[in-house]
Structure 1
Amino acid sequence: MTGAPARPSRLLIPASALLWGLQIALLSPALALILSTLYGASTTDIGWSLAIYNTGGFLASLLIPAWADRHRSYLQVLLACGVLTIALAGALAAVTSLPWATVALVVLGGPAGLGTTMLFAHLRSAGTATSSIVDTRAIISAAWMGGPPLATAIIGWAGGRGILAAIVVIALLNIATTAAMMSRHRRAASERPEAARPRESLPPGSRTGTVLVVAAFVLFQATNATAMTFMAIYVTQTIGLAVLWGGIVLGVAAALEVPALMIIGRLGDKVPHLTLVAVGAVAGIAYYLGLALATGPVALLLLQVLNAVCFAAIGGIGLALFQDLIPGAGLSTGLFMNTRRLGAIVSGPIIALGALSPLGQRGIFLGCAVLTLLGLALVHLARRSAGRRAAKDQLPVGG
């Protein structure tokens, strides 16, 4: 009977992950439509507004997590993210011009978008196992499977303000779950000793190895973003299939991500994180080479197994690896999230330059394979750097 009350506590983290994932999955794909319908923004205006918003989000993801690390206030910041989300929705519903909407996105939306970052930082700070962290990441991926279709359905039924109202409801639920987590965390902290620090993948303070891994992940994220962004065009213009197949391929990829994350998360408790990332990079190289050679739908669908392995290693184990390497649960998680932002920026030149090759659009994915190979080489160099650092630390003083 003593174990029964613990079940609601175990459900709080999955519930929080699902709600935060759903909130992002509703807002992100709908934001351009909101700017267009509520403020009459042109395509160019939307592009500039989103660029300014993403820049503000980038800065917020560096400054606020670092503050949370200093004060060990991850759940408090998570609660503030929920409050700021409600304030953002209210501001977007109230203002009548695009400049003021952009100001609201930067001032309120940037900090409000750090919910998942703070959730993962809290898990790391609490000494959560890699498998549980990656399982939480899988829940957020599952939320993305339903979020975008739900967002478009709400906009079609209730317009831009309808989606803002839905986001407010989810934010209220996020505030409630976070408050419950804070209460349980305070009680648990008073009843148990300090959690053991998770093992490091690289020696603490190994700056060279850390820089190499960060650079590798920018490349990994860039190639992943390229494949996702360009898939629909590639399927229709190069392979010659109906545009529906682009959606089917991306849907299969999203469906495979969840079990792949759960499997690799359990391996992450036993296998070094750098090794799993290297395996994912090899799968990614094979995936991009396969895309460059694919000529039909069957090959595209089968290749998504490799894509899922690559994504699970980069998006799941990569998060745990950054938390191993970089001091501060908030800053390390924020930096990992920013590799995705930087990778999305780099994906543009990859598409533009890759299409100029004699292979045409197939050259884009050949370029992705080369860049992933470069990222794998950087991971290998990071591992060697860690080995040299460990050997140096073992030398006797004055010897």
Structure 2
Amino acid sequence: MTLAAPPRQRPLTRALVPLGLMFLAVGISVAVIFPFLSLFLSTAVHADPLRVTIFLVASPLTGVLIASPIGRASDRWPIRRKILIGAALAGLAGSVATMFIRDYYVLLALNMPLFAVAGVLFPQSFAYARQVLERDSPGHAAMGISALRTVFSLAWVGGPALAAVLLDVGGFRLVYAMAAVTYAIAALVAVVWLEDIDPPAPVVVDAGGDQPVVSKDASSPARWVIPLTVVAFVLMQVPMTLGVQALPLFVAEDLHSDASRAGLILGLCAALEIPLMLGLGALTTRFRLRPLLLIGAACGVAYYAIAFVAPNIWVLASAQIVNALFIAAISGVGISYVQDLLPNEPGRATTLYTNTFPIGSILAGPLFGVAAYLGYRSAFGMGSALLAAGLVLLFVAGVGARPSRAAT
């Protein structure tokens, strides 16, 4: 018999408001920097294409290497709030430094580790949110995570446009000043409104003796489930990056339309993605996560297959509802799914999930080169095949997962 105190029920909005502000600040800080990073390196730092490529590959790899041990440490000790504060301050320091530093090697040596530490804001914010939601409203944890992921998406709707305006008005110095302000807001929210939370308590079971026994296996899936799940998500992340990279050239060269219409396609997808993410979040209160995730992945297979054979821009546009459902499921429900697989390790679980983004982006680079050689339509054929493989792995991994909202 499990010995556990009943959770304290608190209003969900009490937890979501400060966390929503945190996610908005984190989202804007990334959204104003990332889309123009290669332009900044090329024009302001005067880096050649090789050095730009080195920076763009080394930066996410450093982030993965730093995030993993921090994720594990955050599950052992009550330091998650302190990690959020430290990560926000690292982003603030990196942004202020980038306002003035224009030497490539100094940026590589100083800012890359600073922004790598700042990058843990994303997984650690979700891990913190998971603990708060499980404490305050356990039945709505997955819905709350999806809602917070939507806030991050909203930041990306306006962030790049804001950065473009700032770039025209004051150049990259003003862009990074804006990033510094948002990191400062994130740090302020963590200091003023967030509280320290103890790590999740281990599962305690009655073994029939005089003393309760701590079970390490009661809440964990089979050993091979987590690596297989991570590989599945990596395979599903690659097409997201590859599809965005290839879309303008595919529209121009294969569909014989204006390349600018790619922006309209992406905007349409983003507009559909946000309500769908909220809708799927609401469905998590009534349905198990695994079927929702598998349906979303199947929609991804269907979208990339449709894009592969699309004869014109209108077919591609009409298929964005399927693409948006895929992205909403993978980006929203996917986080809660992995967290459910490791309920006692929210930091590690969320870090494993978020690390699939940069790894998928790195793997998409060589495939984009293949698509440039074979024709940009082939990028969507490769994307559909990768998603089909990811769907199969996700299904197989679910068979070995423990009985939970994620696996059953």
TM-score by length of 1: 0.87
Distance 1:320 1:381 in 2: 18
Q: Which of the numbers 330, 350, 366 marks the counterpart of 2:381?
A: 366
2:268 corresponds to which letter in structure 1?
V
Structure 1 or 2: larger helix share? 1
User: Does 1:281 find its partner at 2:293?
Assistant: no
Give the conservation status (yes or no) of the 8 Å contact 2:221–2:401.
Answer: no
CA gap 1:35/1:301 in 2 versus in 1, 3 angstroms:
same
Runs of at least 5 residues in structure 2 that lack an aligned partner in the other structure: 1-10, 205-217
Distance 1:224 1:286 in 2: 14
Q: Which of the numbers 148, 161, 166 marks the counterpart of 2:178?
A: 166
What RMSD in Å do the two structures reach over aligned CA positions? Answer: 2.7
User: Does 1:349 find its partner at 2:355?
Assistant: no
The CA deviation string for residues 237-267 of structure 1, in whole angstroms up to 9 with x for no partner, is 1011101211100111111111111011112
Once the two structures are superposed, the pairs formed by residues 108-119 of structure 1 within 5 Å of their partners are: 108-119=114-125
**How far 1:6 sits from its partner (Å)?**
9.0
* 1:394 alignment partner in structure 2: none
User: Does 1:380 find its partner at 2:395?
Assistant: yes
1:280 corresponds to which letter in structure 2?
G
**How far 1:8 sits from its partner (Å)?**
6.5
What is the total number of aligned residue pairs between the two structures?
A: 374
**How far 1:223 sits from its partner (Å)?**
1.4
Distance 2:386 2:102 in 1: 44
1:150 corresponds to which letter in structure 2?
L
1:271 corresponds to which letter in structure 2?
F
**How far 1:386 sits from its partner (Å)?**
3.5
CA gap 1:268/1:350 in 2 versus in 1, 3 angstroms:
farther
Distance 2:202 2:188 in 1: 26
Runs of at least 5 residues in structure 1 that lack an aligned partner in the other structure: 391-399
Once the two structures are superposed, the pairs formed by residues 330-349 of structure 1 within 5 Å of their partners are: 330-349=347-366
Q: Which of the numbers 147, 155, 160 marks the counterpart of 1:143?
A: 155
* 1:133 alignment partner in structure 2: 145
* 1:396 alignment partner in structure 2: none
CA gap 1:299/1:96 in 2 versus in 1, 3 angstroms:
closer
Distance 1:242 1:287 in 2: 21
**How far 1:196 sits from its partner (Å)?**
11
SS at match of 2:319: helix
Distance 1:368 1:166 in 2: 35
User: Does 1:58 find its partner at 2:74?
Assistant: no
Distance 2:124 2:110 in 1: 21
**How far 1:300 sits from its partner (Å)?**
1.3
User: Does 1:72 find its partner at 2:78?
Assistant: yes
Give the conservation status (yes or no) of the 8 Å contact 1:37–1:160.
Answer: no
Distance 1:353 1:160 in 2: 33
Distance 1:10 1:342 in 2: 29
**How far 1:59 sits from its partner (Å)?**
0.8
Distance 1:21 1:133 in 2: 15
Q: Which of the numbers 337, 340, 346 marks the counterpart of 1:329?
A: 346
1:226 corresponds to which letter in structure 2?
L
* 2:257 alignment partner in structure 1: 241
* 2:168 alignment partner in structure 1: 156
Distance 2:393 2:12 in 1: 43
**How far 1:270 sits from its partner (Å)?**
2.5
CA gap 1:112/1:362 in 2 versus in 1, 3 angstroms:
same
SS at match of 1:72: coil
1:59 corresponds to which letter in structure 2?
L
Give the conservation status (yes or no) of the 8 Å contact 1:234–1:361.
Answer: yes
Distance 2:364 2:12 in 1: 45
The CA deviation string for residues 65-116 of structure 1, in whole angstroms up to 9 with x for no partner, is 2222221322211111121112112222343411011112222111012212
Distance 1:20 1:48 in 2: 25
**How far 1:378 sits from its partner (Å)?**
1.0
Between stretches 5-14 and 253-262, larger displacement belongs to 5-14
**How far 1:44 sits from its partner (Å)?**
2.3
* 1:177 alignment partner in structure 2: 189
* 1:21 alignment partner in structure 2: 27
* 1:258 alignment partner in structure 2: 274
Give the conservation status (yes or no) of the 8 Å contact 2:16–2:144.
Answer: no
* 1:207 alignment partner in structure 2: 223
Identity %: 27
